[in-house]
Amino acid sequence: MIATPIDNEAPDDRSTKDRILDAALVVFAEQGFEGASIRKIVTSAGANVAAGHYYFGSKYALYSAVTMRYLEQLNQTRYEALDRLVADADGEIISLKSLIRAFIEPHIRFSATRYGSAYAKLIARFLVEQHSLSAEIFEKGVYPMRRRFAPHLAALFPGANEQQLDLCFQFIALNMSGAASQNANWDDDPLQLEADIEAATVFLTGGISALASLFVSTQTR
């Protein structure tokens, strides 16, 4: 089982910077990048506007910091899961289902936690809104993670080109974020969380397999 990658901090132990980051996560998740303001965020954090500018400089930088704060931790959990799969495979090709589970489980499991619920909404917005920050965040946090998984996906579908593999990752990310944002009762029903992780994994395994068959048929026309 992949552990939740975010430590739960007691509110009294948080620094001003951490309080601003936590508040920004909630405000950006609920109102999006365009709808949020630094004033609204720092007020929610119990801080002042000067503190927001001191720590982050701009709303743009604050949004990037919030997104990368959790993405980097989730990616580390993904890398650890992938490393275990590689070690267990001992040179053999890793199954598609195992790869997909290593990719999506940290995000879905985190979404059942206090801050993860807001983060799941934030990422769902991010994938749909595609604002000016998208390129920077993809370059810093998304593409490096995909490059770690890509060789193993390519080994399963040797006929697929880079664009087709990227389509697979997009399909996985969109469905993962959709599943994670529908987390109403996971904190009260851990068994349902486990069942939903398995269901999302099975669904995506079937979907990616179907996509891969289209890649082959397209190349043989």
- Residue spans of the domains in the chain: they are 69-219
Q: Answer whether 200's CB lies under 8 Å from 105's CB.
A: no
Task: Check whether 151 has a pLDDT greater than 90.
Answer: yes
User: Taking the domain 69-219, which CATH number applies?
Assistant: 1.10.357.10
Supply the pTM of this predicted model: 0.84
Q: What is the pLDDT of residues 2-20, one digit of tens each?
A: 444 444 444 445 789 999 9
Measured CA distances, 125 to 35, 71, 119 (Å): 12, 14, 10
Structure-block tokens of residue 134? 């998208």
Residue 86 pLDDT exceeds 90: yes
Amino acid letter, residue 215? F
Does residue 153 have a pLDDT over 90? yes
CA pair distance 25, 27, nearest whole angstrom: 6
Would you state the pLDDT for residue 10? Answer: 45
pLDDT at 80 over 70: yes
- For 110-144, the pLDDT digits (tens) are 988 888 889 988 888 887 776 666 778 888 888 99
